[in-house]
Amino acid sequence: MTQISTLGEFGLIRQLTDKLPQQQPSTRKGVGDDAAVMNFGDNQVLMTTDMLLEGIHFNLEYVPLKHLGYKAAVVNFSDIYAMNGTPTQITVSLGLSRRFTVEQVEELYSGIRLACERYGVDLVGGDTCASLTGLTISITCLGTAKADEIVYRNGAKENDLICVTGNLGTAYMGLLLLERERQAWTQSDSKAVGQQSDQTAKRSVSEAVFEGKEYLLERQLKPEARRDIIAKLRKAGIKPTAMMDVSDGLSSELLHICSQSNAGCAVYEDKLPIDYQAAALAEEMNLNIVTCALNGGEDYELLFTCSLSDYEKLVPIDDVYIIGHITKPEYGKLLIGRNGEEITLTAQGWNAFTE
C-alpha cells in the first residue's frame, strides 16, 4: 500500500496519466499544461478544471461566500489566459451539505456571476448535489485561441527572458494574516463567551488590525486573472515562448517550465517583485519574504518567457518584471541571491497531501 503523500500531488497525477492514449483526432494537448487543447474547427478550444474543497482550499470562517465564488471562477479564467487564450464558458458543480441555505448558495453564485460578467464568460451548466460534509466547488472552463497563438509550457529557449507580472507571495501573506486573526479571535472568544460588549470591542480591534493591510486580504480573497497583461502583450506584438499562471508558487512553476522546456534558469532574488504591505507583514511575523514569494501560492500572476529580441517591446509594459533568464539545462535551476550566491530552486509549493 502506498500512501498518496509518498508521491505528492504531481507524482500522483504523473503516475495516473502516464500512459494515457489519445484516440480523438481533435485532441491536440492533453494532461500537462494549464489547459487541454482541442481542435474542433476554426479556433482551438481550451479546457481547464479546478476543484475547491472546504477545509482544504478555503475556510468559511473568514472567506465570504461571494468572494469564494468569484475566486473559484477567476482561478479557472487564469488558466485559460495562461495559455494565451480567452475564457468563454464555465460549468459549475456544487456539493452542499445541509447546513447551507438557499441564500448562502445565492451568495456564492452571485460571486461566480460577477466574475463571469466582468470577464465576459458564460455560465452554461453544472450539477448541484447534496454532500455529507461541507462545500465542494468544481468548475470547468472552456476558452478559445487561434492555433498559432497558444502558448504552452514547453517553449522556453536558452537566453529567453523570464518575466512575472504583479507581485509574488502577497496572497500567501493575506492567508497568514487571516489565519492569525482567526486564531486570536477564537482564543478571545473562548475567554469571553456571551459578553456582547467584548464582541463589539473585538470587532473594532480586528478592523484596526487589517488597516493598512487591505491589499493583502484582497489578493487572498478576491484575486484577478491577468487578462490585461495578455491584451498588452498581444498589442505589443510579443508572443511568449512559454507561459503559466502562478498558482502553486514561483519555484514550483519555474521548475515546470524548465522541465517541460528541457532548460535551466537563473532568477535573481533582488528582481522578484514584492509588495511593501507583504514585506512589512513578513517582517512583523518574522518570516523571510523571499521564501514566501518563491513558495507562497495563489498569486494568479503570469510567469512567462520571451525572446531576448522582445526586450524593447517588453520594457514599456506596466506591471511586468524581468526576473532572470533561461539557461542550458546543465546549469540547473538557480536562484541568484543578493550576494551572488547560487541556490538551487526546489518546489515546496502547496502540497496538501504532505502537510
The span from the CA of 76 to the CA of 70, in Å, is: 10
Phi-psi region of 298 (alpha: psi -120 to 50; beta: other; left: phi over 0): left
Q: Could you tell me the smallest distance in angstroms from the CB atom of residue 158 to a copy of itself?
A: 29
Considering beta carbons, is residue 106 or 283 the nearer one to a copy of itself? Answer: 106
Q: How far is the CB of 172 from a copy of itself (least distance, A)?
A: 18
b/e per residue 245-268 (b: at least 16 CB within 10 A):
bbbbbbbbbbbbbbebbebbbbbb
Terminal alpha carbon distance of the chain:
20
CB of 256 vs a copy of itself, minimal distance in Å: 14
Classify strands 320-327 and 342-344 as parallel, antiparallel or unpaired: unpaired
How big is the site for a copy of itself, counted in residues (CB under 8 A)?
81
What's the closest the beta carbon of residue 26 comes to a copy of itself, in angstroms? 6
Q: Which is nearer to a copy of itself, 2 or 339 (CB)?
A: 2
Q: Which residues are paired to 94 by β-bridges? A: 128, 137
Could you say which of 73, 80, 121, 306 contacts a copy of itself (CB under 8 A)? 121
Contact positions with a copy of itself (CB under 8 A) in 123-152: 123-134, 136, 138, 140, 142, 144
Is 179 near a copy of itself (CB under 8 A)? no
Subset of residues 41 to 80 that bind a copy of itself, contact rule: CB under 8 A: 41-43, 45, 47-51, 53-57
User: Exactly one of 58, 77, 81, 100 binds a copy of itself (CB under 8 A); which one?
Assistant: 100
Distance CA 18, CA 105 (A): 38
**9-38 footprint of a copy of itself as x/- string (CB under 8 A):** x--xx-xxx--xxxxx-xx-xxx---xx-x
Which residues from 275-334 bind a copy of itself, rule CB under 8 A? none
Structural contact between residues 282 and 345, judged by C-beta atoms closer than 8 angstroms? no
3-state secondary structure of 193: coil
